[in-house]
Structures are given as structure tokens and as C-alpha cells.
Amino acid sequence: MPELILASGSPRRREMLTQMGVDFTVQVPDIDESRRADELAEDYVTRLAREKARAVAASQAHNEAVILAADTVVVQGERIFGKPRDFAHAQQIWHSLSATKHQVMTAVCLLVHDRLNVKLGLTDVEFATITERQMQAYWSSNEPQDKAGAYAIQGLASAWVKVIHGSYSNVVGLPLREVNELLSAVEMNWL
């Protein structure tokens, strides 16, 4: 059985993969996550997942490892919300998401012997109104600083969610059904 490497520094992704009963190690990729001009959300998130997998593969002394990488963005219309740069940026994101719908998009990439397989998780989320006081309190919690869309659905921001259509695990950052499908192709899945 080849080694599975999770190409991510996300503790949430590690927790979810562990909950699936999968044995893996972690290696954090170092890539430029800047969006290219006019890059569509699906292309952007898919490219980043692929680049993360390739970056970890390039650092391996051998090519026997199977590499799982993912990237998540929050999308509203043509706008893509990644991680907030600072409080002012987070406020801009929350003002856009407040009392509206958005989509969470996660690309998951499995790299096996130079073969890339990618699946895309899509979930629609609707938020209630977010007040200025809530924004300040949430930022002060330190929870949203490294999250796409400046929120963690599994944390304090769960109070903002009115409706979710689709995979909850996708919003957390790792669509487990898609991961299981990718891992089943190389007989590393738990079911």
C-alpha cells in the first residue's frame, strides 16, 4: 500500500481525513495562491489543488506516494472570496455575504504516479444578517483569519447559517464523498 500524503496545513482537513479512517502523513505545500486575471472560480480552485499536489510530489525523493490536495473558495456571482487579509477585508466579505446566498467550492486532487484526478464539491449556503457588532466579535475570536470567505461553518459562524444545500464537509474544506470516490480508485478508501 503506497503512502498517502495530505498536501495541506489545514487542521480541519486532517481531522476529517482521520475521521474517515484513512492513514496519512502531512506535508504543507508552498505555492503562490494568487488568482490569475479573469480566472473563473472553478478553474482557480482546481489549479490550486493541482499545484499543491505537484509541489508536494516534486519534494518527494520517490514517486510512490499518493498525494491528496484540496483548495476551497467562497463564490458569490463573479466574486471569489479567499482568506481575509485583515479585519477591513473580512468586513467587506461579511457585508457581501450578509443576508444573501453564496457557494462554497472545493477542488480535491489525487495525484498517483503523475496522474491527476480532480473532483469538485459545490455547496450553497445562505446567511442571515450579520451585524457590525457580530463582525467585530467574530474577528476578535481569531477564528476567521485563515478561512476562505472569512468564516468557519463548524465554529462560531454557524450561527449565521440560515440554509445549507449540499455537503457540509465541503464547506468545512474537504468534501468527504468526493475524497472517498478518489481514494476508492486506488483502494485506499474506508468503505
The residues annotated with a catalytic role in the active site are 71
Using alpha carbons, select from 176, 174, 166 the residue that is nearest to residue 148: 174
Using alpha carbons, select from 12, 35, 15, 17 the residue that is nearest to residue 110: 17
What does each C-alpha distance from 65 to 5, 8, 41, 137, 150 come to in angstroms?
A: 7, 15, 29, 43, 33
Q: What are phi and psi of 90, to 5 degrees?
A: -60, -40
Query: Cell match 481569531: residue?
Result: 142
